């Protein structure tokens, strides 16, 4: 009996060593985890089943018969190579009033663009393009072609001025074609990274741009000088008006002062005529004699003195 029990115990140990790892192995192959940045599809015998796993969580699959393929759910980057695209050139300056015919010249430019895209349907994506490398190659042809279609019939001036509008038009065309192809890809936006000219025409373009800017600068300089002359004319008129008004007021004040002084002098002269004659005589003597002359006034003949017409009795 004890031997049977020992034998059963050994069988149980062997069973635990074999069965439990097998169960764990089966369980590990029965569930898979999809995190927030992923989305997945399940293949059975190499063929995808009609189900997508786009939400994060733990999911069940048939062990050994099914396998899981995961794709990135985040926004991905497409960075195309610089492409040479012909354009209508720079806009001519000579235009008529009746029509808008402009001087045309064909100019090739290099457009370097980038885009943002994502996998919108992992099942269709796997069936159509299989992986991200193939998707990038597929986007090369679609995006480059639409950008070329939108830029070729335009002028370089419009490309610089309305780049956002042109890229939005190209984006709409790309999204429309991807919707028709139904390959599980969605392009979110397209932007221009850099625009460069052909090396052969680069100096000509720069010279033309420089001449246009110089002409524009000369135009603004002429307008500035005209405005300067206008402002200076207004300032000169205001200055002349201020000076004439000030001179008029000064003349009026001077006339009033002269009138008051004459009135005061006349009144003083009437009060003491003799003293006024003496005061005026002493006032003009320095000017009459000069700065280098010496004037002596003697008192010895004081009663008979007559200084420049001054009567002696005034000095008494």
Closest listed residue to residue 91, CA positions, set 77, 76, 107, 102: 102
- Look at residue 99 and tell me whether its pLDDT is greater than 60: no
- Look at residue 301 and tell me whether its pLDDT is greater than 80: no
Structure tokens at 135: 């998707």
The H or E element spanning position 224 is helix 202-271
Structure tokens at 119: 């996998």
CA 278 – CA 316 distance, rounded (Å): 11
Is there a contact between 136 and 119 (Cβ–Cβ < 8 Å)? no
Going edge to edge, which strands form the sheet with 66-72? 47-53, 38-44, 66-72
CA 299 – CA 301 distance, rounded (Å): 5
- Look at residue 62 and tell me whether its pLDDT is greater than 50: yes
Domain boundaries, the chain: 2-72, 76-93+102-198, 272-315
Of residues 11 and 125, which shows the higher confidence score? 125
pLDDT digits (tens, 9 = 90+) for 175-216: 999 999 999 999 999 999 888 877 766 676 677 778 888 988
76-93+102-198: CATH class: alpha beta
Q: What is the mean pLDDT of residues 300-306?
A: 50
Q: How confident is the model at residue 94 (pLDDT cuts 50, 70, 90)?
A: very low
Q: What is the pTM of this model?
A: 0.57
The H or E element spanning position 189 is strand 185-197
Q: What percent of the chain is modeled with pLDDT above 70?
A: 77
Is there a contact between 278 and 315 (Cβ–Cβ < 8 Å)? yes
Strands 185-197, 107-119: pairing is: antiparallel
pLDDT digits (tens, 9 = 90+) for 1-41: 666 676 677 666 776 666 677 667 777 778 889 999 999 99
Of residues 54 and 282, which shows the higher confidence score? 54
- Look at residue 246 and tell me whether its pLDDT is greater than 70: yes
pLDDT value of position 176: 94
Which CA distances in Å does 241 have to 72, 108, 247?
A: 81, 63, 10
Q: How confident is the model at residue 97 (pLDDT cuts 50, 70, 90)?
A: very low
Task: Looking at mean pLDDT, say which of 132-146, 193-207, 252-266 comes out highest.
Answer: 132-146
């Amino acid at each position: 009996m004890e031997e049977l029990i020992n034998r059963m115990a050994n069988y149980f140990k062997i069973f635990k060593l074999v069965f439990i790892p097998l169960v764990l192995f089966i369980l590990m192959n029965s569930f898979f985890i999809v995190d927030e940045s992923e989305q997945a599809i399940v293949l059975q015998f190499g063929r995808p089943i009609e189900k997508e796993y786009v939400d994060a969580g733990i999911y069940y699959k048939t062990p050994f018969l099914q396998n899981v393929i995961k794709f990135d759910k985040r926004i991905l980057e497409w960075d195309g190579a610089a492409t040479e695209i012909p354009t209508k050139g720079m806009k001519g300056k000579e235009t008529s009033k009746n029509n808008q015919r402009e001087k045309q010249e064909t100019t090739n430019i290099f457009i370097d663009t980038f885009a943002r895209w994502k996998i919108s349907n992992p099942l269709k994506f796997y069936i159509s393009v299989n992986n991200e490398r193939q998707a990038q190659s597929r986007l090369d042809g679609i995006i480059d072609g639409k950008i070329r279609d939108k830029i070729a019939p335009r002028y370089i001036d419009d490309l610089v001025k309305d780049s956002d509008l042109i890229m939005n038009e190209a984006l709409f065309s790309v999204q429309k074609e991807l919707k028709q192809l139904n390959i599980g890809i969605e392009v979110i936006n397209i932007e221009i990274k850099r625009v460069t000219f052909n090396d052969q025409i680069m100096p000509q373009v720069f010279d033309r741009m420089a001449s246009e800017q110089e002409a524009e600068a000369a135009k603004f300089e002429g307008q500035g000088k005209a405005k300067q002359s206008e402002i200076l004319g207004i300032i000169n008129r205001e200055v002349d008006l201020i000076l004439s008004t000030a001179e008029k007021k000064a003349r009026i004040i001077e006339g009033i002062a002269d009138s008051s002084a004459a009135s005061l002098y006349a009144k003083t002269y009437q009060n003491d005529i003799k003293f006024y004659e003496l005061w005026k005589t002493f006032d003009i003597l320095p000017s009459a004699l000069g700065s280098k002359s010496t004037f002596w006034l003697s008192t010895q003949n004081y009663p008979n003195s007559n200084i420049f017409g001054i009567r002696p009795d005034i000095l008494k």
